Each structure stands twice: as structure tokens, then as C-alpha cells.
Structure 1
Amino acid sequence: MGSRRRKLSLLWTAGTFLAVALIVSGLTPHSARCAVPASADSAFPQPQALQPAVRFWIDVFTRYSYRDFIIVDSTDVRRVYEVMHLPGFGPPSGSQIAQADFELKDKYRRILYWLAEGGQPRNADERRVAKYFPHASRETFLKAASNLRVQEGVRERFMKGMVRSARYRPMMRRIFAREGLPPDLVALAAVESGFDPRARSSAGAAGIWQFMRGTARKYLHISRYRDDRMNPYRATVAAARLLRENYLMLGNWPLAITAYDYGPGGIARAAAQYNGDYVQIVKHYNGPHFGFAARNYYPEFLAAVEVYRHSNRYFPGLNEISTPLLLADEHSTPAPVRHAERVTHYRIRRGDTLSRIAHVYGVSVESLLSENDLSNPRRLRAGDVLAIPAAAPAARHAAPVTHRYRVERGDTLYGIARRAGVSLRRLMAVNRIYRPRALSIGMILHIPGV
């Protein structure tokens, strides 16, 4: 379901589903209902054949900047031909990315064509490529020329995702543990969205778990007024159930995790063809759209688990970085890491209103709407679960109101808050303003003490 990947809609009859599930996993109808292994170390095997790919993705996540472009053989990432660093600062533009992709592929395609025709290496680049292909045939070089892939580094984005994840991982791990799943499985959200609850892909995937609309309808409520894919709590419950179903169908986590990206039907067919051997599937399966993304999905996940387990090794001092500063260019700034554990959840009862819930928890109605991606505050359903954002420390211990201010022409809430030395969120909470633009000339604002 990754945002970078093509989404497949695969329909299976009940009889086909059961037959394939039992063939692939070797489960009997009784064993299929047994608990899912929850030990992360035993649940996520790392065959020796996968180690180069896992190492490659660890480097992409932690070593290479978004201005680094790595050209590799898409069928064997051990063949790293070059790492090109783009001069400058900040994220590269789309045209710069396209130019880097074109230049690197053109350069190494020419080198591989030269070697294919029997040419001898003439420079360091050609000698480096030739070392990957000792005694190779012409066809091998030509095939390598068609397998070139340029991968951009994501160190900065992955680091932001790690900071952002502190707000959601404790809740996710509890949900996964409750479903009988290995808690480390939540690292899959790093691969899917970088723990961004507002992430959307060009293919139509949405939310922290990047559900496609068709798949999401089986687990989540989606309507004109509400899209539960954008609700981190509900989407996590849905992802846990989908992953559990994948596991019970396919029998092991390498297949179940890959199925989250490629689709359970396609992976079941591949598993039936190769007797459930994940390594053989990755090496030889040639099903529709089973390309670089699907082959590398499980190694990416293993790399993410490794980085999260040993975050201080890969990002020393990350916990000391100021979260608001690190995420300053994000479209929404999550709560600071040190308050992540204070995010709670509330099950709506008959007669509840958002304003009443906000008052009880000491947060604004606007923050509840934003946290739960609700567009209409009146559309609440008894039994739904709301994520309650952590109240800002200043708001929880606010000093008494010290004076009032009459709104004048040209005033904005942000400007008033800045002049008064208070946060915009606190000013809105004290005055029960739910939209920053809801000001009128002559309106009296209560200015809280600093």
C-alpha cells in the first residue's frame, strides 16, 4: 500500500482464498486460528540473501541525503555504480531530480554498452563497473543496462519521520500487541508514510497507513464528511487487522508484509508457485507489476526496524533535537516528543458534543477537528473513538486573564498573539475561537497572562 507503488485490486472467491491459504502456509483449519507469533526476533527472518538489500536501505534511510542520488542495478543493489551529490542546500526541485536521474542513467548505460561490445575499461568509472561483471557475456551487460535505477537518499525525511513517530508509536504498539502482532511491525508506517497522518499519494493512497479507498472500505468509514484513513487511531486498528489477515492467509511475515504492498492475492499466487519460499519469490517471480518496489518492500521494513531499534547509533542525539524546529517546514507540527505519551482516546457516547469533550479535556474544538480529520463538528457517532491531542503545557497551567483587547481594523489573531507574547493556540483556546479568521472589528478578546 506504499504511496510510491501501484495498487492492485485482486478479488478472490472464498474457496480459492481458503485453498491457497492452506497450501501456502501449510496450516490446517485449526492451526489457522492460532495466535500470530509476537516475538519480533523470531517473526521477522533475515535470510543471508537479503542482507545486502537491508544494508542498502539502512544507508538510504540514514547515510544519504535528499541531495544524494545512488544509481544501482535494480535486480542486485550490491551493484552501486555511483553516488552523486547535488551541490546546494535544501530539498532538490523536481527538475533537478529528473536531471540527475537522466544524467546518471545515460552515463552508465553508455558504459555498459561499451563493455557489452568488448570495450576495455578506460577510466575509473568503467573499471568500477567492470569489476561487478567478471567474465560476463554481452547479454549480461545489455540486461544490466536495462536494469538501471536511481534512488534518492531520504536521511532528512526519515529523521523527521522518527521525530514525528514519537507521537503515534506508543498507541500503535498497544494496538498491535492487543491484536497479537509483533509490536515492531509498526515500523511499517515509516516505510508507508514516514508516520505522516496527512500523507497522500498520487495513486490515491491516504493517511499514516496509506490505505487505498477500495481496501479501506472493508475496515474503515469513508464518506463525504469523514475519511477514517486520515485518523491515526482508526487507521492503525485497520492496518493491524489487515496484516493479521495477511499472516493467517500466507503463513509468515515476509509474505504477509509484502502482501500489504503488492496485494494478498498476487503474493498467494507467487507463494504457491515457489512453495512459500520468500527468497525464491524475490529472485524469480515475474508476476504483473512485481518490480523493484515489491521486491524491496520487506528489506525496507527490516531496515526501518533496525534503525528504530538502534536510533542513537544512526541518529546520535536525535532525542535532544527541538521537534518544532526540526519539523518547521511541515504542513502540520506534531506535539513535542516529550508529551507524546499524553495523547489519549475517548469513545463517544450518546449526547456528546465536540465542545463538551474539548472542555473536559482542556483542548480546543479546532484541535479535535484537526486531530481526527473531521470537517463537520456535528457529525459524531456514538461508539466512534476520538484521538484527544495533548494540551499544550502553557494552556494546562495558564495564568489568570490579565486584560482585554478590542479588535481593530487590520488585526489578525496571529498579530495580536505575537504582540501579547502568547501562543496563537492559547489565545484561541481562552477565547473559544475555532477558526483563526473568525474576527470582527470591535470584538473583545481576553488576553491571558504570560
Structure 2
Amino acid sequence: MPRIGDRKTLALCLLMWSLDSQVGLAITTHKKLAKAHHEIKDDLFPRPPTVRKLVRFWRKIFYEYSSTTAVIHDANDTDRIVDVIDYSPLEKQRYSFMVPRRDRDEVTSRNLIRYIKAAENFAKEGESAVNRGEPERRLYDAYKSNPMALQRLYKGEVKLRAQGGLADDLIQAAANAQVYLPQMEKIFLRYGVPTILTRLPFVESMFNLKARSKVGASGIWQFMPQTARHYIFVNDLVDERNAPEKATKAAAQFLANNYRMLGSWPLAITAYNHGVIGMANAVKKHGTKDIGTIIDSYYSPSFGFASRNFYSEFLAAADTYEKLYRQNRIPKPLDYTPTASVIIRHPMSVAQILQSTSITKEQLTALNPCLLEPAWTKKLNKQLPSFYEIKVPKNLHKAIQIGIKNFDAKRYARR
């Protein structure tokens, strides 16, 4: 989720901005972006060895492993895949394709603990621990091809984690994205941001409009309220984090600001997760903007697995989406309604919109998820601000425009 730093370190950001301007860094022009459409340019999005290795891992997660599996791997050496947990036996036991998340987590946790204990045995006993049992044998097999990796195992320097497969989730997300990506790309072009960055929601939310995090992030771009308010409406009536196009405008501005501060798209993307201040600190500490060096060398309590992997995860998701697109494996979205935008030139409440136009409550609700529950209940008569934009069915566009125009005419005629 996107993060904004505090005021205390604003000077550091301004310094970074100043340094960037001295070496001629600027937001990519629209003309240049048009050539880079649907491809990832190495000059904008470099892949040093560390990044290539991480991308290789995340491609497997996005393309090979489905949500019925979990991969147990080394958090610091993602080539070391120890085991793949399969939930299919649970599905057969339940005669269901949907195994509750709690049950899957329990199975994953149980297996992960087995391998963590096996790693502890190697740290205590060295190579002889391989004879203890299957977990030790699997662990040894994952590391034996690389002497340095094997030494890490013997020294107790291995940190294991589990990662759920996402292949089927990405295919469904790609279907959902078809509705929004064309307009999202136009928005990013308008703000001078590479259109390939519209693939970030695959990492943030899998293009789930109803995505909500435990800490309060919302929408396909997973903005926190305090960050979103810099760009869009977030109040008791409206939460535009849940309106894909409006949130995309916010994301484009946010990413453009990150780039202005940091002068590098890999850093700007990582800052979406870790914060621009955190990435500025990393650059200052190591004296480089090379994303590979920062991933390998930068330490901060908050710069954990998610932040280190964020840029590579984005690249892998974008690569996988393009691969699915070329293979014609992206299904058509279900229940797609062509839409158009209507600008409410003067303040109107939801009740007044419904009374003066042919749109139904169900249509207005479905097409405008940014309108919160109070807008339909206790604050039904509270007015939306002037020039507020609503989405309507395309076939009703003109009729709704006329209805709102007539409402305004009657309202001002009474004055």
C-alpha cells in the first residue's frame, strides 16, 4: 500500500529532488510512453541479477502454482524451494473445491514448523541431520547444489517462509482488469507515468474492488485514508479509493511524486510499499539508486520481505499478465456494463439523483462503489459536491444528463 513520509525528513526528500534535477531526470514524456505500451523497457525498469532472481520466483507463484498450493522457500534465497504444499486432499475430504482459509493456513503452518525445526537440526548437527527424517532430507536436497547455500543451512542462517500460489487468482484478476485497464492507461499517460504501472493492482489487490486490508487500506490501489485524502474524496459520504478510475488518478499522481523525489522508477515503485522517505534513506545510506544493491544491502526493521520483493513482484505480475494475454488465456469479464461519466455541476444528493433521472438505485450502487452506506440511508439527502463525477450505464447517459440539467433548471428557477 502507498505510504507518505513525515515532515521531519522532508529536507531529505527535497535534497533528493534537487539531485535529480541536476542530472536531468524527469517524468517520462507521453511520446516516449506510447512506444513502451504493453512492454517493460529495461532502461526504465532495470533487472539486475538480484531482481532477475526474485522475478523468477514470483513468475512461478503467478503462473505455475495455483491457490490450492503453498510454496515453502528460503526468504533470502528464493531459488531454494523446499516443498510445495497441496491442499487438494482437503478438497477431496470435504467434497468441495473451496477449502476454508483457516484450514489451509493450519496445514501450511504445520508443515512450515516442521521445516523450521529441521533447519534448526542442521544448525545443531551439521550434515548428519540429513538422516533424521523426510523434512531434513527435503531441506538438504534444496540446498546441496550450492555449497554457499549449504553452509548457510549449517550455520543456521536460513529463514523459511510460506507463499501461497496465485496462478488462478491472477487469471481471474486479469479478467476483471479488462474492464478498467484501457481507461487506467489513458490516465497514466495523462500524468506522464509509464502505462505498465497500471499492473500494480495485480500485486496490491488482484483488481478486487472490494479489497480491504486489516490496517484500513482499500480499493484496487490499496490506499490508506490519510494518503488518499491528498488526492481524492474520503469522508463519511464518499470513499473514492473504491472508485477504480478516481483511485487510479490518485495512484498516478502518487507514483509521479515518488519519481520526482527519487529519480528512479524501481525506487518509486518500491516506495509505493515502503514509503518515499524510507527509500530516500536507503539511497543516502548506500550512495546509489541501484535497486539491486539496495535490495541486497539496505537494512531497516520495516524493509522486510514484502518491501524487498515489491518491485520484482510487480515485474513478474506484469510479465505474467502479458504472457496470459498473448496466450489468449484471459477470460471475458462477467456482467460487464458499458459505462459513461456524468458530471454533477451543482451539489446534489443521492436522493435527488434518483428522483430526477432514470437510473435505479441498484445501477447507481453497482457503478459507484465509492458511495458509502450512509449516502443511501441516514445521509440520503446530504449533497455531493459541485462537479462530482458519477458513473452511469452508457445507454442512459444522455437521458441522465438531461434529467440532472432539468433538475438544476427547476431548482434555480425557484430562487
Q: Which TM-score tier does this pair reach, normalised by the shorter chain?
A: 0.7 to 0.9
Residue 152 to residue 270, structure 1, CA distance change in 2 (3 Å): same
Query: Matched residues in 1 for 2:4 and 2:250: separation?
Result: 18
Q: Is 1:102 aligned to residue 79 of structure 2?
A: no
Show the 5 A alignment for 1:48-447: 48-86=49-87, 87=89, 88=91, 89-116=96-123, 117-120=125-128, 121-122=130-131, 124-134=137-147, 140-145=153-158, 147-274=159-286, 275-312=288-325, 316-319=328-331, 323-324=333-334, 335-336=335-336, 342-350=338-346, 363-372=359-368, 373-375=370-372, 376=375, 378=381, 379-390=383-394
User: How far apart are 1:280 and its partner, in Å?
Assistant: 1.0
Structure number having the greater helix percentage: 2
Residue 9 to residue 186, structure 1, CA distance change in 2 (3 Å): same
205-214 or 133-142, larger mean C-alpha shift? 133-142
279-288 or 40-49, larger mean C-alpha shift? 40-49
Contact 1:69 1:84 survives alignment (8 Å): yes
Aligned to 2:45: 44
Residue 244 to residue 107, structure 1, CA distance change in 2 (3 Å): same
RMSD: 2.9
Query: Matched residues in 1 for 2:148 and 2:241: separation?
Result: 52
Taking structure 2 as the reference length, what is the TM-score of the superposition?
0.80
Contact 1:348 1:382 survives alignment (8 Å): yes
Query: Matched residues in 2 for 1:143 and 1:262: separation?
Result: 28
The AA in structure 2 aligned to 1:151 is Q
> Helix, strand or coil for the counterpart of 2:84?
strand
User: In the TM superposition, what whole-angstrom CA distance separates every residue of 1:64-107 from its partner, at most 9, and x where no partner exists?
Assistant: 11121101111111111111212224343233233233222222
User: How far apart are 1:298 and its partner, in Å?
Assistant: 0.5
Residue 287 to residue 93, structure 1, CA distance change in 2 (3 Å): same
Where do 5+ consecutive residues of structure 2 fail to align? 398-415
> Helix, strand or coil for the counterpart of 2:342?
strand
User: How far apart are 1:262 and its partner, in Å?
Assistant: 0.8
Query: Matched residues in 2 for 1:351 and 1:199: separation?
Result: 29
Contact 2:240 2:247 survives alignment (8 Å): yes
Give the structure, 1 or 2, with the largest relative contact order (CA under 8 Å, sep 6 or more).
Answer: 2
User: How far apart are 1:195 and its partner, in Å?
Assistant: 1.1
User: In the TM superposition, what whole-angstrom CA distance separates every residue of 1:227-251 from its partner, at most 9, and x where no partner exists?
Assistant: 1111112111111000000011101
Q: Is 1:22 aligned to residue 18 of structure 2?
A: yes
135-144 or 196-205, larger mean C-alpha shift? 135-144
> Helix, strand or coil for the counterpart of 2:250?
helix
Contact 1:233 1:387 survives alignment (8 Å): no
Query: Matched residues in 1 for 2:46 and 2:356: separation?
Result: 46
8-17 or 244-253, larger mean C-alpha shift? 8-17
> Helix, strand or coil for the counterpart of 2:179?
coil
User: How far apart are 1:355 and its partner, in Å?
Assistant: 7.7
Where do 5+ consecutive residues of structure 1 fail to align? 325-334, 397-450
User: How far apart are 1:286 and its partner, in Å?
Assistant: 0.9
Contact 1:104 1:150 survives alignment (8 Å): no
Aligned residues: 369
User: How far apart are 1:382 and its partner, in Å?
Assistant: 1.8
Taking structure 1 as the reference length, what is the TM-score of the superposition?
0.74
Contact 2:347 2:384 survives alignment (8 Å): no
48-57 or 93-102, larger mean C-alpha shift? 93-102
Query: Matched residues in 2 for 1:283 and 1:246: separation?
Result: 21
